[in-house]
A and B are shown apart, each in its own frame.
Chain A
């Protein structure tokens, strides 16, 4: 083989390998960045965030994975993402809808509400007919090892914020869970929690996650949706002014 032929072959091989690397980078990194971020802006020193967790989701690739949704404050539509931003040093009022059934915590310590203002949550629970069977109960604990109480958690370890998310009761969890995401209160049993916390005074990205091993189909429920952005793992971007 002539020197020219060798050089051309080498160049062609280089182009192919470089192309593959660029493709992989764009496919994965670009794909991750394509996930939308829902931006919340403060009004009167407060910001209202709405989340829901569903037994499934409306994605094409992993429709059977349990998943969080974030409500866009502008359109009021539920967005299949776990990325949202809030302003720094602001009271964050969270409304969290729990549509998924119950699964016990591995570590029941996280049944205790921590890091919210007052270290409590306000809990209401509804059946599929809209009947409210628990009404605005302020509680510091939702015991995941007592009956069928907790579906998931909303935890931001970097802020020492740990909130157990209640589920519909045992009977409703077994028979009447929402099956079409994003779920709506109409025709579905759910739990509704409200709580508040202060965003940190400095900007930064804070990871949030579910501490219930809720990855059905994976060893002991770990992995899968539990560790994947867009499902049960998310990031809160705190934006400093």
Chain B
């Protein structure tokens, strides 16, 4: 909003600088400098890094949001500081301020400008959500945006077959099942590089959140829900898996580690774990692989334990939800 003096002499009008152009010039220089700094100096160090396609997109998104927002922030702060410095009351000046009138052109610029900014962010955000197949976020059991890759019940290095990994949260640790390797399970998350991965995230007890930070993957782990997220690791190395949903008093301690390895090394590792679990017998002791992990149904014990009448304690069975009270 601008002010127009009710009356001013020609001499005063000549002395008054063109504040709008001056502000615009300062704003343009500062905005350009800030955006260049963001893009070239800050972006390479922005989280979550570039370890996967999802992470790389998130880093790009944050940088674009930052260079979109920086000129707005600079404009607000610049106008604020300029007003204090240039339009402050001088010592001895007890007169009223200038009356404020409407200004159609300024209002139009304001409305059009903010609309363009919001629409740009909306379109950009949508494209960046659709393009990288959900941008590493959990999309629920029926994902709208799927990552390209062939589905198969087996997985071999070198092809474009999608690797399926079921992520299982429980108080307070993570485990991972690999259905293409006989449903074997591991407390380490191993992934092959340059391979599209489908994460099926679920929980055995309360709500957790699977957050493979460096991979840019985050998906809620809800009991009885198959929450699907995608990623393709692009660099070898280690990463951390944390729980990102307050899930109890030891939530902060619920983390473990994963590794991105070569496809051949992954195949060797997965086949080795599968063989060991088969030899130990634990593979046969696991429930058949399913997209949701129902711990109350134990086929090996021939019963849906939670529905058995008369369970009042452990004694070989689960504690039921109402033992003895349901909060």
Residue B248 lies at the interface, judged by CB distance under 8 Å to chain A: yes
B282 to A, closest residue via Cβ? A112
Number of A interface residues in the complex (CB < 8 A):
42
Decide if B318 touches A217 in the complex (CB within 8 Å). Answer: no
CB proximity of A14 to chain B, nearest CB, Å: 31
Residue B305 lies at the interface, judged by CB distance under 8 Å to chain A: yes
Residue B175 lies at the interface, judged by CB distance under 8 Å to chain A: yes
**In the complex, number of A-B residue pairs with CB atoms less than 8 Å apart:** 125
Decide if B314 touches A211 in the complex (CB within 8 Å). Answer: no
Segment of B4-12, B25-33, B164-172, B261-269 engaged in the interface with chain A:
B164-172
Decide if B314 touches A101 in the complex (CB within 8 Å). Answer: yes
A105 to B, closest residue via Cβ? B295
Decide if B172 touches A145 in the complex (CB within 8 Å). Answer: no
Task: Kindly list chain A residues whose C-beta atoms are within 8 Å of the C-beta of B206.
Answer: 222
CB proximity of B291 to chain A, nearest CB, Å: 16
Residue B41 lies at the interface, judged by CB distance under 8 Å to chain A: no
Contact residues, B145-197 vs A (CB, 8 A)? 168, 170-173, 175, 185, 187-188
Residue B102 lies at the interface, judged by CB distance under 8 Å to chain A: no
CA distance A155 to B174 in the complex (A): 13
Contact residues, A97-115 vs B (CB, 8 A)? 101-104, 106-109, 111-112, 114
Contact digits for B277-311, partner A, Cβ 8 Å, 1 yes 0 no:
10011100111000001010010110001000000
Interface residues on B, range: 35 or more
Decide if B171 touches A101 in the complex (CB within 8 Å). Answer: no
Chain A residues packing against B (C-beta within 8 Å): 101-104, 106-109, 111-112, 114, 140-141, 143, 145-148, 155, 157, 160, 162, 170, 173-174, 207, 209, 211, 213-223, 226-227, 233
Chosen A-B contacts, 28 in total, with CB atoms closer than 8 Å, are A102-B314, A102-B316, A104-B301, A104-B318, A106-B170, A106-B204, A107-B170, A107-B295, A108-B285, A108-B287, A109-B286, A111-B282, A112-B282, A141-B280, A143-B281, A157-B187, A160-B188, A207-B250, A213-B318, A214-B314, A214-B319, A217-B324, A217-B325, A219-B321, A219-B326, A219-B327, A222-B171, A227-B249
